[in-house]
Amino acid sequence: MVSKPVYRMGCMWVAVALALPAPVVAQPAAPATADDQVKKVEALAAEAQAKYAEGKYQDAIRLYLQAHQLVAEPAILYNVAVIYDQQVRDPEIATEYYRRYIMDPGADPEAVTKATQRIQELRAQREAAAAVAASAPASRPAPAPASTAEATPNAGADARSGSDGGLSTTRLAVGWGLVGLGAALGVAGGIFGGLAEDDEHAFTDSGDIVEKRDLRDRGQQRALAADIFFGGAGAAVVAGVVVLLTGERGGRDGAPRAGVTPTPGGAQATFDFRF
């Protein structure tokens, strides 16, 4: 059944047809001394209704929030929550506006009950999705050629002087090169991690819901980039250290091998050394 949360200001009713709980009937309008302000709010609400009918939901939300800044009518918060819930499909922001509506002293008791129920439903949906994702078997990536730094005997191995455990110049260069690469990736990961943390603080402090959504998306992207850089850094450093420590022990049959293979979650380091 389609219900219509409504916003009332003065003698004007603005209804938004949404498939959610029962209507919200706003409390009486602002005093007569604020007639001009009331007219502005009515105009903004009417324009928001028109944008909603055109399917321009973000514009409708923006106009409703402008009206709410002029007159803190709780029904506006309910309408915004419903649009985010049913049309924009953003359960996190919808939940935030449902909670703001519930906390408003002028909220309609019946609508408060329905908003509370909807918050619980959205939470249950998120928990169910997380459980499904956690129980799904991890997909194994298709075999990919490994980017390896192999330790193989060189043509002059039999002719070199000194013990069999010495490090060649090439091996030193490869080992330290991997360590340096790991350090650089770690620095990049730290930079992206710091930027993600800044976005998280800005998300918490921001009062603009559209800005909060952008900050959340950008922060998640930067956090993912930081994880990838940190994973690559760890793999490169470990590979470099192993190359430096193992040397060329064991001759042609016992040559150590170290490799780094990209994976969906970062990188996988593999080492092969036979005594």
Q: What is the pLDDT along the chain (275 residues), one digit of tens a residue?
A: 334 454 444 433 344 434 344 435 444 444 445 688 888 999 999 999 999 999 999 999 999 999 999 999 999 999 999 999 999 999 999 999 999 999 999 999 999 999 999 999 999 999 999 999 888 765 555 666 555 444 444 444 444 444 444 556 777 787 778 888 888 888 887 898 888 788 787 877 776 777 878 878 887 888 888 789 888 878 878 887 777 777 544 444 445 555 556 665 555 656 554 54
**What integer pLDDT is reported at residue 161 of this predicted model?**
46
**What integer pLDDT is reported at residue 150 of this predicted model?**
47
Q: Any bridge partners for residue 262, and if so which?
A: 267
Task: Output phi, psi for 13, to 5 deg.
Answer: -115, 130
**What integer pLDDT is reported at residue 96 of this predicted model?**
95
**What integer pLDDT is reported at residue 8 of this predicted model?**
45
Return the CATH class of domain 6-124.
Answer: mainly alpha
DSSP 28-51: P---GGGHHHHHHHHHHHHHHHHH
Residue pair 8/29 in contact (Cβ under 8 Å)? The answer is yes
Which pair of structure tokens corresponds to residue 96? 């935030």
**C-alpha count within 13 angstroms, C-beta hemisphere, residue 163:** 5
- Alpha-carbon distance of 207 to 230, in angstroms, equals 32
**What integer pLDDT is reported at residue 245 of this predicted model?**
74
**C-alpha count within 13 angstroms, C-beta hemisphere, residue 14:** 26
Separation of CA 249 from chain center:
47
Residue pair 147/201 in contact (Cβ under 8 Å)? The answer is no
**What integer pLDDT is reported at residue 47 of this predicted model?**
95
Residue pair 43/8 in contact (Cβ under 8 Å)? The answer is no
Residue pair 182/233 in contact (Cβ under 8 Å)? The answer is yes
Residue pair 150/271 in contact (Cβ under 8 Å)? The answer is no
DSSP 9-35: ETTEEEE--BSSSS--PPPP---GGGH
Which pair of structure tokens corresponds to residue 14? 């603005």
Q: Any bridge partners for residue 180, and if so which?
A: none
Segments of the chain assigned to CATH 1.25.40.10: 6-124
Task: Output phi, psi for 262, to 5 deg.
Answer: -65, 140
pTM for this prediction: 0.45
Three-state DSSP at 96 gives helix
**What integer pLDDT is reported at residue 214 of this predicted model?**
82
